[in-house]
Structure 1
Amino acid sequence: MNPNFIELSEIKKIYTMGKTDFLALKGISLSIARGEFIAIMGASGSGKSTLMNIIGCLDNPTTGTYLLDGEDVITNNDKELARIRNKKIGFVFQFFNLLGKQSALDNVMLPLLYSGFLRKNRRKIASEALEMVGLSTKLRNKPSEMSGGEQQRVAIARALVNNPEIICADEPTGNLDSQTSHEIMEILLGLNKKGRTIILVTHEADIAGYAQRIIRMKDGGIVEL
């Protein structure tokens, strides 16, 4: 049995802009064990977010193979990829991506709309996720009534409601001050200690230091594992 939860082999990603092809990923091979916490670092344009999007099944590579828990995800259609994302992967982004007119509770319940839960069960699961990130008293607050750190906690709670095995966090501290950044990272570290696989994209060395392994990228390739 392959011990690697995530297995990428010779992944290339080509974007076509007009008549020009841009090679964003240049034959990436990478293995990630179940329950590992990795950080992907690199300058802007290094390919780190492109790699994250492929790992998170938000985008397909142009060539190469990607096995997720033994399943060849590249051969899947859009509907099957959506199923994998909803079941296995939670996402946290730099800009929170919350619905401004909805409460924290409603934002966190959104992924559960596609999971077949009754509304009362959705509320219970979302409330528990918000309690897990320390926001049990903010259920009714809208994003405009919350600090940046609180909004990111809501985003993490939203990523957790489907009980995913993988958390993909793309620059989750990019808009936060230093103290709040480390509070958010402690939450992610705690999730990792409970067995979740964490894949973090960051350009900050102190944030990357929370990971068990740092992968450095440059010009679409991995320069250090």
Structure 2
Amino acid sequence: MMKNDKNTARWAGFFYLLNVIFSVLYMEYIPSQIMVSGDAEGTLTKLLSNETLFRIGILVGIAGHLSFILLPLTLYKLLNQVNKRIAILMVALALISVPVSFSFILDQINFLDLLKDYDLGLITRDNLATSARSLYRSLMNGFFLNQVYWGLWLFPFGLLAFKSGFLPRFLGISLMLGCITYMVDIGGAILIKDYYDHVSTDLLIIPAAIGEIGMCLWLLIFGTKQNIRF
């Protein structure tokens, strides 16, 4: 049984690593190469000069969302022995985000149709630029919305890790703290008009980053270890 747990843990670590890589590319790197904040024409110019990257980004997004389906399901197989109800909650909170995430992909695929119309002269450059700006504004807002679920699933995951006895407790604590800071960030951004002028999101995500990257590497390298005391 212990060997099976180690194998399951390493598969979970593998899916976690894929998700981290795909997420960084899809949500950070690729948009940074295309989006020009507040500049519709600038965004369109960069998009047209990086159209292949834009198309690759769609595939990367699909792969990332698929890896995020496999991750909680594999973690459930590993952690349901700790507490089945909490494990079910963990999976539910994670998977709720997937249909929302795929709706962003649909918006990007629809934009490909607009590019075809532009090549055929069916829409003007100004209209295409406005659509490009709207696409990325919607994409960023969608990422923000999904932080609700990307944050909430970390609490049951962290609690299960803390209670498991075969995963590091400090990583479980980091995951639970990450959930709290995600919720603080979301609530603050909605309630306070100039929130980001006073609060650094980079600092708030530190607990979640430590918990998620640490857990990813632990699962991938060590799998499980019995009677962990830290």
Interval containing the TM-score (normalised by the shorter chain): under 0.3
Computing the radius of gyration from Cα coordinates, the structure with the larger value is 2
Structure with greater helix percent: 2
| TM-score, with length taken from structure 2 | 0.26
| TM-score, with length taken from structure 1 | 0.27
Pick 1 or 2: higher relative contact order, CA cutoff 8 A, min separation 6.
Answer: 1
